[in-house]
Amino acid sequence: MKSALTLVTILFLSVTVLAQNFTLSGTVKDNAGQPIPFATILVKNTTKGSPANADGQYSLTLTSGTYELQFKAIGYKQESRKIELKSNQTLNIELAIEAYQLQNVVVKAGGEDPAYAIIRKAIRKRKGYLNEVRSYTTDTYIKGLQRILNMPKKFMGRDLNQMAREAGLDSNRRGIVYLSESESKLAFMQPDMYHEEMVSSKVSGSNRAFSFNRASDLNVNFYQNLQDWEGLSNRPLVSPIADNALSFYNYKYMGETVENGETINRIQVTPKRKFEPTFEGYIYIIEDSWRIHSADLMLTKSAGINFVDTLTVKQQFVPVSNNTWMPASVKFEFTAGLFSFKVGGYFVAVFKNYDIAPKLTRKDFAEVMKVTAGVNKKDSTYWQQARPIPLTTEEITDYEKKAVLAKKRESKPYLDSLDKVYNKVSLEKFLFSGVSVRNRYKKSYFNTESVIGSLLYNTVEGVAINYGASYTKQIDSARNRYLRLSGRVRYGFSNKLLHGNVTGIIPIQDYTLSFSGGSDVIDLNNTFPITAFANSMASLLYRQNYQKLYDKHFAAVGISHRIAGGWQGSIGAEYADRRWLDNTSDYSFFKKDREFTSNNPFTPNSNTPLFPNNQSFKVTLRTSYDFSNRYVTYPTGRYYLPSKYPKLEVAYTKAFKNVMGSDVDYNLITANISKNNVSLGLWGKFDFYIGAGKFINANNVYFTDYKHFSGNEILLHHDAPNSFLMLNYYTNSTADKYLEGHYEHNFGGLFLSKLPLIRRLKLQEVLKVNYLTTPTLKNYSELGVGLNYMGFKALYGWSFNSGLNSKNALRLTVDF
C-alpha cells in the first residue's frame, strides 16, 4: 500500500511539472524600433493567443511544451517562431512592413482595376459566409479606455481644475477618465440572437461598478450588408462587400502577399461620394475562397457620423476549422472634440476558444445578458493571470491611483462632505432651481421645485403657483428599488382656490403599488396636450387661452405587475368629485382688444358650464404585450428589453353608477398597437401608432370621461407617438367610437446628404401622416413634412377635412 501511494505521488508530481504554466512575454516593434500597438500573437492552428497592449508589449501563458507562434498585425509581414517553453521566457519580435506584390497585373488606360473582380467574387460569397455558422460560443475579453487629450482651465466661467483632480487627471487636466476590463462567455444563434454572461469585470476608480463593455456590441460583421450602429450614424453604414457596395465605393488593387499558404489580396476602399454612410481604408480578401482575412477601415465626419471626429475599425479573422474563419479580435479607436475639449480612446475585444457546433436552443437566448454579483470582486492576482493584454505603465498607475480615490469616495465621511456642500440652501436656489437635500450614503433624496418655475397663468385661476416636492428612498439595495413620494400645493390668486395632493409609488416584491389623492385643477383633455407654460405664454402674449380646466377632488389606487416576459398588467380604481370652473381673470400683456374665450370649448363666447358637478367611480384593467421575452439580468434584478416587434395594449374601463354616489355609467374598451424605430435600412426608420376604441352602454358619460386626442393648436408641438399637428384640443373628443393612426418616417438625411453645403448640417428629412375618424369627425387627416436636427424638429403641416378642420401651419418640437 505504501509503495502504491508513493508511486501515485510521483506520478502526480510528474504530471504537475509537465503541465506547469509558464509565461512568454516580450515586445513587438517595427523596423524603426517603434512599438506596434495591439499586434496579435497566436499559437499556430489554434485561437489561443492575445493582442499586445498599446505599447506593443505582450504576455502569453502556456503549459510547458513546443509551440509555433505567429506574430501579426494589419499592414505588417507575419513572423513565425518555434519555441520550446520550459520556463518563463522573453521573446522580442520585429515586424517588417508588408510588401504587397503586384503579380502580373496590367491595367490598361480606361480599363477596370482588378480589385473589382475580387470584390465581385467576395460579394457573391457574402451571404454564404454570413450564414455559414448557424451558432457558436466563444470566450471574450474586452478592454476599454478613454482619455482626456485636452481640457481648458475654465469653461463657461467654471474652474475645471478641481473637477480634473477629482477625476484623477494630471496638472494639465489630461489623463485616463475611463479604464475597464471584462471577460464574458458569448453565444450566438442565427439570425441575430446573443447570450452573454459576464465572468469578470474591473473598472478603474470604482469597486462597485460593472463594466458596460459588451462583447455583442463589438462583434462587427462586415458580411452583413449594413452596419446599423445606433446613435453613431443617422443612417446605417454600407459594408465594402454589401450587395450594392459597387454603387457606393471605388476599389483599387494594392497587391498580394502569402501568409500561411494563403494568398491575401489588399484592396483599397474609398467612397464614390462624400457624405455617404461609407468607410474608407483597406479590406483584405483571401484568394480562391474570397472571404475576409482582415479589415482596416475608417469613418470620418464626411460619413455623417455623430459625436466623434474619426473612428477606426480593425478586425482580424483566424481559421477555427478547415473551412471556417471567425474573428480573432476587433478594435475600435476614436477621437472626438467639442469646443476646447478633446478626447480619444479605444475598445478592443479578443475572441478565443470557439465552438462552432454547440448544442443551443432558442430558449437559451431569452436572457441576452447576465451579470451576477461577485464578477467585479476578482482580485489583482486573478487579473494578472486572466488578462490577455498586459497593462501599460500608465494603466497600472491609473488603477493604483484611482483605487485609493474609490475607497475614499465610498466612505461615509467623504459622501457626507459632498452632501454638506451640495445641500446648502439659498434664496437663489429656492427661487430659481429648487432645493435638493440628499444623503448619498443612505441613498435618500429630497427635492423641491423652483418657485419661479412653479408660477403659471390661466384665465380660470389668474396667476397661480403649482409648487411640488418629492422624496425618494432606496428600500431594496439588492434589487435597486425605491420608494417615491411626492406632493403638490396649488393656489390661484384670482379664484382664491387652494388645492393639494400627494402621490406615491411603493415596490412590493414583484409588484408596484401606486396611490394618489387630494385635489387639483385638471385639463379637460386627459392626454394633457398643452403644457401650463405654453398656455401661460399664449394667454399673456397673444391673449389665447387654449387650456380648459376643471376642479377635481380624488382618491386613486393601482397595482401593476409583469405577468410573464413581455406581458404586463395593471388594475386601478379612482373616485372623483368633478366640479365646473369659470374664468376669473382676463389679464394679458398684449392684444387687449381681443376677447378671451370661455372655459367651455363648445361655447367660446359664453360662460356656460360644460357639465354639472358630478361624482365618478371607475375601475380600469390594462394589459400589454410586446411579443418578446428578452431580458438582461443584473445583481439588482431582471430588466426586460424593448422588443423588435410591435407592442399591443388593451384596456377596459368600467364606470359604476350609485357606487359611493357615482353618477357615471358606461363601459369603454380601447386597443392600440405601436412600434418605434422600425428600420428600413438606407431608407431610414419609422414609427407608427394605431388605436381604436368604443363606448359600450354609455348611459351616462360626462365630457371628462370622453375619449380625448392629443391635439395641437400652437407653434410648439406636443410630440407624442399619437399626437396630431393641428387638431383642436377638445371639440373632437368622443363618447362613441373612434379609429386613429399615426405614421412618422425619418429618412436620416437620405436626400439632403447629396446637396453640397446643406449636407454638412446633418439634417434629417421627416414625413408625418395622421388620421382620425369618429361618428362626428369623419376621415380627418394630416400631412407634415420637415426637418429634424439633434432633437429639434420643424414640420409644415396640412390638414384635410372641411371647414375649420382644413388648415396649414408650422410646428416645432424639441425632443431630448
As a whole-number percent, the residues of the chain with pLDDT over 90 amount to 72
Q: And the C-alpha cell for 356? A: 462552432
Q: Is 643 part of any domain?
A: yes
For the segment 632-638, the average pLDDT, to the nearest whole number, is 88
Which pTM was predicted? 0.89
Q: Domain containing 59 — which CATH number?
A: 2.60.40.1120
pLDDT number for residue 422:
81
Q: What gap in Å lies between CA 321 and CA 315, rounded to an integer?
A: 19
Residues in Cβ contact with 41 at an 8 Å cutoff, skipping those fewer than 6 apart? 28, 49, 50, 51, 52, 58, 60, 69, 70, 71
Q: Is 11 part of any domain?
A: no
The answer to whether residues 645 and 702 belong to one domain is no
Please, are residues 370 and 214 in contact by the beta-carbon 8 Å criterion?
A: no
The answer to whether residues 684 and 657 belong to one domain is no
Q: Is 417 part of any domain?
A: no
Query: Mean pLDDT across the chain, nearest whole number?
Result: 91
pLDDT number for residue 208:
64
Q: Is 577 part of any domain?
A: yes
pLDDT tens-digit map of 270-303: 999 988 999 999 999 999 999 999 999 999 988 8
pLDDT number for residue 6:
40
pLDDT tens-digit map of 400-431: 888 887 777 777 887 888 788 888 899 999 99
The answer to whether residues 70 and 149 belong to one domain is no
Please, are residues 4 and 48 in contact by the beta-carbon 8 Å criterion?
A: no
Residue type, 738: Y
Query: What's the gap between Cα 239 and its chain centre?
Result: 23
Residue type, 411: S
The answer to whether residues 656 and 536 belong to one domain is yes
Q: Is 515 part of any domain?
A: yes
210 band by pLDDT with thresholds 50, 70 and 90: low
Quick check: helix, strand or coil at residue 387? Answer: coil
pLDDT number for residue 803:
76
Please, are residues 619 and 576 in contact by the beta-carbon 8 Å criterion?
A: no
Q: Using alpha carbons, select from 142, 276, 289, 145 the residue that is nearest to residue 220.
A: 142
**Is the backbone of residue 677 left (phi > 0), alpha (psi -120 to 50) or beta?**
left
Quick check: helix, strand or coil at residue 382? Answer: helix
Distances (CA, A) of 556 to 79, 230, 521: 74, 40, 16
Distances (CA, A) of 119 to 169, 175, 226, 451, 507: 47, 42, 16, 65, 57
Which of 64, 95, 126 finishes a domain? Answer: 95
> In the chain, how many H helices and how many E strands?
9, 43
Domain that holds residue 347: 115-409
Q: Is 260 part of any domain?
A: yes
Which of 387, 409, 431 finishes a domain? Answer: 409
Q: What gap in Å lies between CA 116 and CA 246, rounded to an integer?
A: 8
Pairing of strands 65-72, 93-95: unpaired
Q: What gap in Å lies between CA 611 and CA 278, rounded to an integer?
A: 61
Domain count of the fold of the chain:
4
107 band by pLDDT with thresholds 50, 70 and 90: low
The answer to whether residues 505 and 598 belong to one domain is yes
The answer to whether residues 625 and 547 belong to one domain is yes
Quick check: helix, strand or coil at residue 152? Answer: coil
Q: Using alpha carbons, select from 487, 425, 476 the residue that is nearest to residue 454.
A: 487
Q: Is 8 part of any domain?
A: no
pLDDT tens-digit map of 752-779: 988 888 888 889 999 999 999 999 999 9
pLDDT tens-digit map of 372-402: 988 988 988 899 888 999 999 999 999 988 8
The answer to whether residues 626 and 649 belong to one domain is yes
pLDDT tens-digit map of 302-314: 888 888 899 999 9
pLDDT number for residue 760:
82
Please, are residues 487 and 469 in contact by the beta-carbon 8 Å criterion?
A: yes
The answer to whether residues 528 and 650 belong to one domain is yes
Which of 663, 693, 719 finishes a domain? Answer: 663
Q: What gap in Å lies between CA 260 and CA 242, rounded to an integer?
A: 27
**Residue 247: half-sphere exposure toward Cβ, Cα within 13 Å:** 7
Strand ranges inside 113-210, DSSP E: 135-150, 154-155, 158-159, 175-189, 193-203
Peptide bond into 646 cis (omega under 30): no
Q: What gap in Å lies between CA 525 and CA 712, rounded to an integer?
A: 12
Q: And the C-alpha cell for 132? A: 455559414
The answer to whether residues 651 and 724 belong to one domain is no
The answer to whether residues 322 and 468 belong to one domain is no
330 band by pLDDT with thresholds 50, 70 and 90: very high
The answer to whether residues 602 and 565 belong to one domain is yes
Q: What gap in Å lies between CA 528 and CA 519, rounded to an integer?
A: 17
The answer to whether residues 140 and 264 belong to one domain is yes
Please, are residues 708 and 526 in contact by the beta-carbon 8 Å criterion?
A: yes
Q: What gap in Å lies between CA 428 and CA 145, rounded to an integer?
A: 40
Q: Is 698 part of any domain?
A: yes
